């Protein structure tokens, strides 16, 4: 009876400690756009609901600037955060590089990172080692690219705009090249360095391509309206990997729900706050895809969705 009482008191004490514990969590994301914002919101919701309702969150956006990303990382280190979270590859790398030097025992969790091994965040997705792990949004690019053809388009050339300075984007470009080669179509690449170059890159594709495909490239997605404008003016179908971009004017997308991605990341953060070691926590992936279509965008470019697509879509923008 005494052992049972001691065990019960221990469990209650642990639960009370979690409930009253104030942990400091820093979240750094490369830029603000609906997908990354949704991931951030999902993280915060899950952490608050898993026993850390008193957690202190500091969220920062680097506004697409790596200098700012490094400044945020240094600030978080100086503030002695208990856990830091990098949303997207550049900000996650900034946090990893800074904390490995200044606070190597602090857990660094990444979210919405496509290629954590290629970006040298972890050596092995199953055995990360060190203090870094997270949730990857590696997408089935071939399936997403093939959506162009499933919709009935028969382009000879497809345009892609990407940030050549971001590992996430370069990895997805290589996967897109492979998908285009399988389809026997030419892939016309336009590399940009920042969001200000997106509009001119999109314009330069006019007359050279019959469709545009954009992956989850954060720089391009942050300036998506520029691509949408060009697509509408020249009746070019714009197909995405990012489903939130359909609300903003893209024709269609087959991709992840980034709010769910954030919820999954938040669950990992909770486990680590409760004692799990990042070194022993395998990198996770999101698997379920959703189909989003935009009837208004279709009208803008003179296209009509097959009835089967309208019925099969998880979300239809009218």
Q: Per residue in 138-178, pLDDT tens? A: 888 999 999 999 999 999 999 999 999 988 899 999 999 99
Could you tell me if 43 and 35 are in contact, meaning their C-beta atoms sit under 8 angstroms apart?
no
With bands split at pLDDT 50, 70 and 90, how would you rate the model's confidence at 12?
A: very low
Residues 295, 266 within the same domain: no
pLDDT of residue 287: 74
Residues 197, 229 within the same domain: yes
Residues 119, 148 within the same domain: no
The mean pLDDT of 164-193, rounded to a whole number, is: 95
Out of 1-10, 59-68, 95-104, 135-144, least confident range: 1-10
Residues 229, 300 within the same domain: yes
Residues 126, 263 within the same domain: yes
Structure tokens at 10: 């221990």
Residues 87, 147 within the same domain: no
Q: Is the pLDDT of residue 97 over 70?
A: yes
pLDDT of residue 43: 98
Count: domains in the chain: 2
Q: Is the pLDDT of residue 134 over 80?
A: yes
Residues 80, 163 within the same domain: no
Distance CA 201, CA 245 (A): 18
How far CA 1 is from CA of 26, 80, 177, 303, in Å, comes to 44, 43, 67, 74
Residues 118, 251 within the same domain: no
Angle at which helices 258-273 and 34-49 pack, to 10 degrees? 40
Out of 9-13, 111-115, 233-237, 294-298, least confident range: 9-13
pLDDT of residue 14: 39
The mean pLDDT of 307-317, rounded to a whole number, is: 94
pLDDT of residue 313: 96
Distance CA 245, CA 292 (A): 9
Residues 232, 270 within the same domain: no
pLDDT of residue 316: 97
**How many Å is the Cα radius of gyration of the chain?**
21
Residues 211, 235 within the same domain: yes
Q: Is the pLDDT of residue 10 over 70?
A: no
| Collapsed DSSP state (helix, strand, coil) of residue 301 | coil
Query: Could you give the percent of the chain with pLDDT greater than 70?
Result: 93
Residues 119, 184 within the same domain: no
Residues 181, 310 within the same domain: yes
Q: Is the pLDDT of residue 15 over 60?
A: no
Q: Is the pLDDT of residue 19 over 70?
A: no
The mean pLDDT of 266-291, rounded to a whole number, is: 94
The enclosing domain of 225 has a CATH number of 3.40.50.2300
Owning domain of residue 200: 141-255+290-317
pLDDT of residue 256: 86
Q: What share of the chain is helix, strand, coil (3-state, %, to 5)?
A: 45, 20, 35
Distance CA 29, CA 43 (A): 12
Strands 132-136 and 56-61: unpaired
Residue with tokens 């870094």: 132
Q: Is the pLDDT of residue 289 over 90?
A: no
């Amino acid at each position: 009876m005494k052992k049972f009482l001691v065990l019960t008191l221990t469990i209650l004490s642990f639960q009370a400690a979690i409930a009253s514990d104030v942990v400091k969590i820093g979240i750094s994301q490369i830029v603000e756009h609906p997908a990354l914002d949704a991931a951030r919101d999902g993280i915060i919701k899950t952490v608050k609901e898993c026993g850390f309702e008193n957690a202190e969150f500091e969220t920062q956006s680097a506004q697409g600037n790596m200098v700012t990303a490094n400044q945020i990382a240094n600030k978080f280190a100086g503030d002695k955060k208990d856990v830091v979270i990098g949303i997207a590859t550049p900000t996650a790398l900034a946090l990893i590089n800074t904390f490995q030097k200044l606070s190597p025992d602090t857990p660094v969790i990444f979210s919405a990172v496509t290629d954590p091994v290629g970006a040298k965040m972890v050596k092995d997705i199953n055995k990360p080692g060190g203090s870094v792990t997270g949730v990857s949004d590696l997408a089935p690019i071939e399936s997403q690219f093939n959506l162009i053809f499933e919709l009935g388009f028969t382009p000879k050339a497809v345009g892609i705009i990407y940030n050549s300075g971001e590992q996430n984007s370069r990895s997805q470009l290589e996967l897109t090249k492979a998908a285009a080669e399988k389809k026997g179509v030419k892939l016309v690449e336009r590399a940009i360095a920042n969001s200000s170059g997106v509009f001119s890159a999109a314009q330069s594709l006019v007359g050279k391509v019959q469709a545009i495909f954009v992956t989850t490239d954060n720089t391009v997605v942050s300036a998506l309206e520029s691509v949408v404008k060009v697509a509408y003016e020249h009746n070019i179908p714009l197909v995405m990997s990012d489903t939130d971009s359909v609300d903003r004017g893209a024709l269609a997308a087959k991709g992840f729900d980034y709010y769910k991605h954030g919820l999954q990341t938040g669950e990992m953060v909770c486990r680590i706050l409760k004692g799990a070691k990042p070194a022993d926590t395998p990198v996770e992936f999101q698997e379920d895809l959703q189909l989003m279509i935009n009837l208004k965008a279709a009208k803008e470019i003179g296209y009509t969705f097959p009835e089967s697509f309208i019925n099969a879509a998880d979300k239809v923008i009218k």
